[in-house]
C-alpha cells in the first residue's frame, strides 16, 4: 500500500535492526485519514469472506479494527484484554502471548459472550513480528469453536518470521506494508 509505505518512510523511526517506532501515526498519535485508507484496503482484501466479527488486541489494534469495521456490514469489533480487570466476565477464553518488545509473557482474554462457534473472524493487528500476538488471537478463536478467516496486519516485519505461524494454521494473511529489513535507521520494503 503506497501511502502507507510513504508514511513509514517519512515518519517511522527504525530502532536498531528489530524495532520500528510509528508513534507519529499509529501507536500514540493516530492519523485517522490514513487508518481509513487502511480500513478500505482490508475491506478490499477480505471483502469476499463472510466476516461476522473483527478481533484485535488492546490498545493499538482497536482504532485500526474500528476504522476497518466501518467498511463491513454491521460487523462488531471485539478486543482482547491484556489486564485482568475486575469488571471482565469470569467466563473467558484465554491464551498466553510473549512480547519480545517488552520481553514478557502476558495473558490475553476475551469474554465468551463475544465470540461464538458460528463466528467467522477477521483478526487485525498493527504489527506482525514473531507472530505471537496473532497466534494467541487465533487460539482464542479456536477455543470458541469459531473460524479465523483472515489475519490483517498493517506492518509486517518479514525478517522475524511471524507469517509462518499464520500460514501453518491455513489462515489468509494480508500485510499492507512488508519490511524486509531495518538497517541504520533505514527501512527496506520487500
Ligand atoms: P509478535 O507477537 O508478532 O511478535 O509482535 C506483534 C506485537 O508486538 C504487536 O501487537 C505490536 O504491538 C508489537 N510489536 C512488534 N514489533 C513491533 C515494532 O517493531 N514496533 C512496534 N511499535 N510494535 C511492535
List pLDDT tens digits, range 69-128. 999 999 999 999 997 666 667 799 999 999 988 899 999 999 999 999 999 999 999 999
> pLDDT tier at 152 (50, 70, 90 boundaries)?
very high
Q: What is the tens place of the pLDDT at every residue in 59-80? A: 999 999 999 999 999 999 999 9
Q: Is the beta carbon of 20 within 6 A of some atom in ligand 1?
A: yes
Regarding an ipTM greater than 0.90, the answer is: yes
53 vs 44: CA distance, rounded Å: 16
- For every residue of the chain, DSSP letters joined together read -HHHHHHHHHH-EEETTTEEE-IIIIISS--HHHHHHHHHHHHHHHTTS---EEEEETTHHHHHHHHHHTTSSS--EEEEBSS--TTS-SSEEEEEEEETTTTEEEEEEEETTS--TT-EEEEEEEEESSSHHHHHHHHHHHHTT-EEEEEEEEEEEGGG-HHHHHHHTT-EEEEEEEEEEEETTEEEE-
What is the per-residue pLDDT for 86? 63
> For helices 60-69 and 32-46, what crossing angle results, to 10°?
60
Nearest atom, ligand 1, residue 162 CA: 3
- The CATH number for 2-189, chosen from 3.40.50.2020, 3.30.43.10, 3.60.15.10, 2.30.30.240, is 3.40.50.2020
Q: Is the beta carbon of 128 within 6 A of some atom in ligand 1?
A: yes
Atom 11 in ligand 1: which residue has the minimum CA distance? 127
pTM for this predicted structure:
0.96
- CA–centroid distance, 117 to ligand 1, in Å, is 28
> pLDDT tier at 28 (50, 70, 90 boundaries)?
very high
Which residues are part of a known binding site? 20, 27, 129-133, 157
Question: Which of 46, 65, 53 is closest to 124 using CA atoms?
Answer: 65
- CA–centroid distance, 179 to ligand 1, in Å, is 13
- CA–centroid distance, 128 to ligand 1, in Å, is 6
- CA–centroid distance, 39 to ligand 1, in Å, is 19
What's the whole-number average pLDDT of the chain?
95
Domain boundaries, the chain: 2-189
Q: Is the beta carbon of 24 within 6 A of some atom in ligand 1?
A: no
What is the per-residue pLDDT for 88? 66
Residues 49-65: what's their mean pLDDT? 97
What is the per-residue pLDDT for 78? 98
Q: Look at 86 and 21; give whichever has higher pLDDT.
A: 21
What is the per-residue pLDDT for 47? 95
pLDDT-above-90 percentage for the chain: 92
Choice from 16, 24, 106, 127 to test ligand 1 binding pocket (greatest atom count within 8 A of CB): 127
Amino acid at each position: 500500500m503506497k501511502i502507507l509505505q510513504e508514511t513509514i518512510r517519512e515518519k517511522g523511526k527504525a530502532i536498531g535492526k528489530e524495532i520500528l517506532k510509528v508513534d507519529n501515526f499509529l501507536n500514540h498519535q493516530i492519523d485517522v485519514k490514513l487508518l481509513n485508507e487502511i480500513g478500505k484496503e482490508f475491506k478490499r482484501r477480505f471483502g469476499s469472506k463472510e466476516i461476522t466479527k473483527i478481533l484485535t488486541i488492546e490498545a493499538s489494534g482497536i482504532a485500526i479494527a474500528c476504522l476497518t469495521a466501518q467498511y463491513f456490514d454491521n460487523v462488531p469489533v471485539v478486543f482482547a484484554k491484556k489486564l485482568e480487570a475486575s469488571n471482565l466476565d469470569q467466563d473467558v477464553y484465554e491464551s498466553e502471548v510473549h512480547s519480545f518488545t517488552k520481553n514478557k509473557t502476558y495473558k490475553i482474554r476475551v469474554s465468551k459472550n463475544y465470540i461464538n462457534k458460528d463466528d467467522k473472524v477477521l483478526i487485525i493487528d498493527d504489527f506482525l513480528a514473531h507472530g505471537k500476538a496473532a497466534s494467541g488471537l487465533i487460539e482464542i478463536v479456536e477455543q470458541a469453536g469459531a473460524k479465523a478467516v483472515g489475519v490483517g496486519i498493517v506492518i509486517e516485519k518479514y525478517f522475524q518470521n511471524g507469517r509462518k505461524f499464520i500460514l501453518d494454521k491455513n489462515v489468509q494473511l494480508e500485510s499492507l506494508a512488508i519490511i524486509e529489513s531495518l538497517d541504520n535507521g533505514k527501512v527496506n520494503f520487500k
